[in-house]
Chain A
Amino acid sequence: MRNYLTAECFKVFRRKYLYVALAICLALEGVLLWGYWSTYSWGNPQVSFYSTSMIVALLLTFGMYATFLTGDVVFSDQYKHTTLKNEVSYGLPRERIYLGKLLVSLAVAVLACAVLVGFYLAGCWLLFPHSGEDGQALAAVGYCLAGALPLWMAAQAVVMACYFHVRSSTMGAFLGVAILTVLPSVFQAFGILFHPIFETLRGFMPAVMLEDLRNHAFDGGYLARCWITGLVWFGAATGIGMGLFQKKEIR
């Protein structure tokens, strides 16, 4: 497995796509910081490290969508380029192929998250005035990230299962979006139309939990729920994805 992970990293970090995507995200963050800085320089007293850093909590859902990019960077259109056959024909176990790509996509996601959040917070720290609430802001951001991490892992597992199962990466991404973001709306409608159980189920969808996370600041119970739900989703998506991949015809 170590060889497999090393090889995947070798491939991923030689791909321009990763750096271009990161650069675009960093540029967007730069634009956001510039916008805050402009209003601050015009004399807006509301702009501070506390107020700007708390924006991170509002962008947690963005992290879930980013898993489509990190998944795509690692999966690299395997079906389009028909490269999986080189791995399978050498006798590499399919579970190693599946888990290897999933783990590297998680590592890339964590790294990208660290770079993006680190850049944004560092920008806020350098540009805006500080107050006694800075520690509270950092703690809130830390809590949100701690709760978001398992839910992002769950999203990554769902996305990879879709990429592995659907031959077109674009269609795979659509399926992922359908599961992660359309399904909660469907459950909501079913909850109203048919049975409240659907509303309960909706509460365990990663996208919904990410949205709710900022409303449960420092709630240990909700944090535990995020981890349990995230890990269950992660395990289920990985189990189903790997099971389907075992019998998948490779071209």
Chain B
Amino acid sequence: MAEQVLTTRGLTKRYGHALAADHINLDLERGQIYGLVGRNGAGKTTIIRMITAQTTPTEGDISLFGAQGERENARMRARTGAMVETPSFYPYLNARQNLEYYRIQRGIPGRNAVDEALEAAGLTDTGTKPFKHFSLGMKQRLGLALALMNRPDLLLLDEPINGLDPEGIVEFRNLLLKLNRDRQTTILISSHILSELANLATCYGFIDHGVLLEQISAARLSEKCRACLELRVDDAAKAARVLEEDLATRDFEVLSPSVIRLYSHLDRPGEVTRALVEAGVGLSAVEPQGANLEDYFLGLIGGVHHA
């Protein structure tokens, strides 16, 4: 059984009457890259801030690496690396001095930990330039270097690619994938840039208005978002027989007595229509379907808003 790295149960944060996070149940297993998807203000940062003890939950429990209670969680936080909101450092210190400060403070042995972290984040050539003169991208990289310095088992990253240039985004993605592959680092990454998460995540949590709408594996999501032809027929059983016998395909799903999703023949809808009509199946619509992560998310929150 995979090690449970992070579990939250009923995690709730209330600011006055506003619910920033509403009974959130998260489960992260070792080696997962968990994409927390939501719009700005959906509650992603609040959840990460509760996990990192920056704010106290109004209700609910957090368990890091199976720890029981806040005292044990506090010890386990030394196994995590976090980058929450904008990277924050002392403006008058340079990159190396800032990391050295935190290395000493955290008792991380070996001065080469700083060099390794800077190299991993692609920030080796900043010299004596103080943090206050860094570009946004450089600040993000330094934030990542700090999060990596203790070789964490769990990385908590809140909107980490904000401010990175396209090259930086690719490097960053590759770095996370490498950490995940080589060190089995578990990653919780929040973003509203869904195309980036789609390249990384092995699991998703969709959040809106503080409510975790759905947790789903990347494999299952990709299945749900798979491109298909949606056939609206009068008799799905009869249509299924036609697809099997006349079009020689079993790559379809019968969703209801009148709806079939066909995953083959995507470029030949005319052939499908002809076969069904010739077999006497009443066909009312043939629609190409399929969604990317963005469409799926929008569909999810749209559904909730309409509910």
Contacts and interface: CB of A to CB of B under 8 A. Distances in A.
A42 interface: no
Interface in B133-157: 146, 150, 156
Contacts of A87: 105
Given A3-B105, A88-B53, A89-B52, A10 B100 contact: yes
B107 interface: yes
Nearest to A9: B104
A89 B78 contact: no
A86 B146 contact: yes
A82 B86 contact: yes
Contacts of A221: none
Interface string B154-168: 001000000000000
Contacts of B55: 249-250
Contacts of A3: 104-107
B89 interface: yes
A8 B150 CA distance: 19
A251 B74 contact: no
Nearest to B92: A15
Interface in B79-97: 80, 82, 84-86, 88-93, 97
Contacts of A14: 92-93, 97
A83 B84 contact: no
A61 to B, nearest CB: 30
Contacts of A90: 77-78, 80, 82, 102, 106, 150
Contact of B88 (A81, A93, A249): A81
A11 interface: yes
Sorted from nearest, which 10 A-B pairs have the closest CB atoms?
A91-B77, A7-B105, A89-B52, A7-B104, A82-B88, A89-B82, A250-B54, A91-B74, A3-B107, A249-B55
Contacts of B91: 81
Given A6-B104, A11-B93, A86 B53 contact: no
A90 to B, nearest CB: 6
B90 A83 contact: yes
A154 B74 CA distance: 31
A206 B106 CA distance: 36
Given A89-B54, A251-B54, 20 more contacts: A3-B106, A4-B105, A10-B101, A10-B104, A11-B101, A16-B92, A17-B92, A82-B86, A82-B88, A85-B52, A85-B88, A86-B88, A86-B89, A89-B53, A90-B78, A90-B102, A91-B53, A91-B78, A247-B56, A250-B55
A119 B107 CA distance: 37
Contacts of A91: 53, 73-78, 80
Contacts of A189: none
Interface in A65-106: 76, 81-83, 85-93
Number of chain B interface residues as a range: 20 to 34
A93 B74 contact: yes
Interface string A1-25: 0011011101100111100000000
Given A88-B52, A89-B82, A83 B88 contact: yes
B78 A76 contact: no
A74 to B, nearest CB: 12
A86 B86 CA distance: 11
A251 B88 CA distance: 10
Nearest to B56: A247
A88 B91 CA distance: 19
A85 B106 contact: no
Nearest to A96: B105
Nearest to A247: B56
Contacts of A86: 88-89, 102, 146
A242 to B, nearest CB: 16
Nearest to A85: B54
A249 to B, nearest CB: 5
A41 to B, nearest CB: 42
A7 B86 CA distance: 22
Interface in B87-136: 88-93, 97, 100-102, 104-107
Contacts of B74: 91, 93
Contacts of A11: 90, 93, 101
A17 B107 CA distance: 27
B90 A7 contact: no
30 contacts: A3-B106, A7-B102, A10-B97, A10-B104, A14-B92, A14-B93, A14-B97, A81-B91, A82-B86, A83-B88, A85-B52, A85-B54, A85-B84, A85-B88, A86-B88, A87-B105, A88-B53, A88-B54, A89-B53, A89-B80, A89-B84, A90-B80, A90-B150, A91-B53, A91-B76, A91-B77, A92-B106, A93-B74, A249-B54, A251-B85
Contacts of B102: 7, 86, 90
A76 B93 CA distance: 12
A15 B52 CA distance: 28
> Counting chain B CB atoms within 10 Å of each CB, which of A83, A91, A93, A247 scores highest?
A91
B97 A92 contact: no
B56 to A, nearest CB: 6
Contacts of A76: 90
